[in-house]
């Protein structure tokens, strides 16, 4: 049987298994093992699996993953989200849609020390949604604002998905972290602008509450100063990477230790139980991600043997169309797959094939990862498998249909940011290209 045909059948089988809900790591290993057994033989396929189990993660790059996960776990349990949301709301008081705007910028601030989109959406669902209901905000508007604001935690460093991108594409974790800063800030601004304009034109979506009218300029200034622990920790981590003071691994260790210290100071982490919970969460999440990475790399080796990546690269190189058309097709594939398959599986499946092709077409590798991250944000909130939407619905005891209804205007905002990335690619590449 032709190797390419075996590869195509393997991809189809993988998509079917993912759609049926089987664990993605198990899917990657099963398809890779069966495919390599057909192409070579079973002992050789098992030998390659054993070699992948070690070589796939025998790299210092992988140390950064559990460190930043631990930092996010300490931040989630240390009261940082409440600190960000409460004070940003005070700063934004009196603006139309102030609570929603506070959610957007609060998520951006909290994301600077917690790279988990699910954790951000869930925590702000518990914090912001009851307040929005108390202020008589429209339900879908509230849920959409929280779900979408939580989703761009993956763009603002430290980001677990950027670490996965670095592993799959062999790029610098530090550069990817820096590349996400400006697009993340721009996304927060675009979201907040959309919330402000919608609330301004339709006051029933977000009524201004009497409590907000009592906020004084002095209280706003005080609220800004109260954000100092988060801003200091974020500046220490990102500034350390940017200045060359820390490697990404060292920044992760500093960030985790700093989150623990501030959590102890503010009282949330003075008991042993939340610390043990953070350690358990870190171990569980790290083990799951390592399993997925190993399985994805094993599947990538199977694809390499089938020559599908090489054949695809040769085809696109001989395809006489503008490179933006090729990238638009890739975005369409990522958008569609992200709607039906968990995001990590989409990029584990496609990056080994698509990334070298896009680089060969002249696109900046860091910029490609940032655009892919924007598609990852959209995938987290779009039906039918928008995992952030389901997490938020469960947290707030709402119908997932209400969440999906509320996110539609924000998906348009994300598409605007993607267009901006195409028009001004320096938005993603400026900081990485100026690293010391």
Q: How far apart are CA 171 and CA 193, in angstroms?
A: 33
Contact assessment for residue 363 and residue 327, using Cβ atoms and an 8 Å cutoff: yes
240-257 mean pLDDT: 82
Q: How far apart are CA 347 and CA 193, in angstroms?
A: 30
Q: For residue 385, is pLDDT > 70? A: no
Q: How far apart are CA 311 and CA 355, in angstroms?
A: 14
Higher pLDDT, 426 or 400: 426
Per-residue pLDDT band for 317 (boundaries 50, 70, 90) equals: low
Q: What is the pLDDT of residue 159?
A: 76
With a CB cutoff of 8 Å and minimum separation 6, the contacts of 142 are 99, 100, 128, 129, 132, 133, 406
Q: What is the pLDDT of residue 340?
A: 66
Q: What is the pLDDT of residue 372?
A: 86
**How many Cβ atoms sit within 10 Å of the Cβ of residue 253?**
19
Q: For residue 61, is pLDDT > 70? A: no
1-5, 228-232, 340-344: least confident range: 340-344
Q: What is the pLDDT of residue 22?
A: 76
With a CB cutoff of 8 Å and minimum separation 6, the contacts of 21 are none
- Least Cα distance to 104 among 71, 161, 142 occurs for 142
Q: For residue 10, is pLDDT > 80? A: yes
- Least Cα distance to 61 among 359, 290, 376 occurs for 290
Task: Write out pLDDT tens, residues 87-118.
Answer: 888 888 778 888 888 888 888 888 777 767 77
Residue 209: DSSP 8-state: P
The SS3 call for residue 153 is helix
Q: How far apart are CA 74 and CA 57, in angstroms?
A: 25
133-138 mean pLDDT: 85
The SS3 call for residue 1 is coil
Q: What is the pLDDT of residue 285?
A: 80
201-208 mean pLDDT: 83
Q: Where are the alpha helices (DSSP H) in 135-271?
A: 139-151, 160-169, 173-201, 210-213, 217-226, 228-243, 248-265
When computed from its CA atoms, the radius of gyration of the chain, rounded to whole angstroms, is 22
Task: Write out pLDDT tens, residues 206-241.
Answer: 887 777 677 788 888 888 888 888 888 888 888 887
Q: How far apart are CA 318 and CA 322, in angstroms?
A: 11
Exposure string for 233-248, b = 16+ CB within 10 A, e = fewer: bbebbbebbbeeebbb
Q: For residue 259, is pLDDT > 80? A: yes
With a CB cutoff of 8 Å and minimum separation 6, the contacts of 283 are 66
Sign of CA dihedral 360, 309, 28, 325: positive
> How much is the pTM?
0.80
- As a whole number, the mean pLDDT across the chain is 81
Residue 347 burial by CB count (10 A; 0-12/13-18/19+): exposed, middle or buried?
Answer: buried
329-335 mean pLDDT: 80
């Amino acid at each position: 049987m032709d190797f390419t045909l075996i590869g195509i059948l393997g991809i189809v089988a993988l998509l079917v298994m993912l759609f049926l809900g089987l664990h993605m790591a198990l899917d990657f290993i099963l398809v890779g093992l069966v495919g390599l057994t057909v192409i070579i033989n079973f002992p050789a396929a098992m030998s390659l699996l054993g070699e992948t189990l070690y070589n796939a993660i025998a790299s210092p790059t992988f140390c950064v993953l559990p460190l930043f996960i631990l930092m996010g776990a300490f931040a989630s349990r240390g009261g940082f989200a409440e600190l960000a949301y409460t004070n940003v709301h005070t700063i934004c008081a009196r603006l139309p849609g102030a609570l929603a705007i506070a959610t957007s910028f609060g998520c951006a601030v909290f994301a600077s020390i917690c790279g988990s989109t699910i954790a951000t959406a869930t925590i702000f669902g518990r914090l912001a949604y009851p307040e929005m209901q108390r202020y008589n905000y429209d339900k879908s508007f509230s849920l959409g604002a929280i779900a979408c604001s939580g989703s761009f935690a993956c763009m603002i460093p430290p980001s677990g998905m950027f670490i996965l991108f670095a592993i799959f594409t062999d790029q610098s974790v530090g550069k990817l972290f820096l590349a996400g800063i400006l697009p993340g800030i721009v996304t927060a601004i675009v979201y907040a602008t959309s919330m402000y304009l919608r609330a301004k034109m339709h006051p029933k979506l977000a009524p201004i509450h009497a409590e907000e009218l009592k906020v004084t300029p002095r209280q706003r200034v005080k609220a800004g100063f109260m954000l100092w622990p988060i801003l200091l920790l974020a500046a220490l981590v990102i500034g350390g990477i940017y200045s060359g003071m820390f490697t990404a691994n060292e920044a992760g260790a500093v960030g985790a230790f700093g989150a623990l210290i501030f959590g102890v100071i503010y009282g949330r982490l003075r008991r042993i139980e939340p610390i043990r919970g953070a350690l358990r969460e870190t171990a569980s999440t790290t083990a799951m991600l390592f399993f997925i990475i190993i399985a994805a790399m094993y599947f990538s080796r199977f694809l390499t043997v089938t020559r599908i990546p090489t054949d695809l690269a040769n085809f696109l190189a001989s395809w006489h169309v503008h490179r933006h058309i090729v990238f638009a097709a890739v975005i369409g594939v990522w958008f569609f797959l992200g709607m039906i398959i968990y995001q990590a599986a989409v990029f584990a499946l496609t990056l080994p094939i698509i990334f070298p092709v896009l680089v060969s077409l002249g696109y900046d590798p860091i910029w490609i990862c940032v655009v892919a991250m924007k598609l990852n944000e959209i995938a987290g909130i779009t039906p039918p498998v928008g995992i952030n939407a389901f997490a938020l619905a469960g947290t707030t005891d709402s119908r997932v249909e209400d969440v999906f209804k509320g996110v539609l205007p924000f998906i348009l905002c994300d598409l605007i940011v993607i267009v901006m990335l195409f028009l001004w690619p320096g938005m993603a590449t400026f900081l990485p290209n100026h690293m010391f």
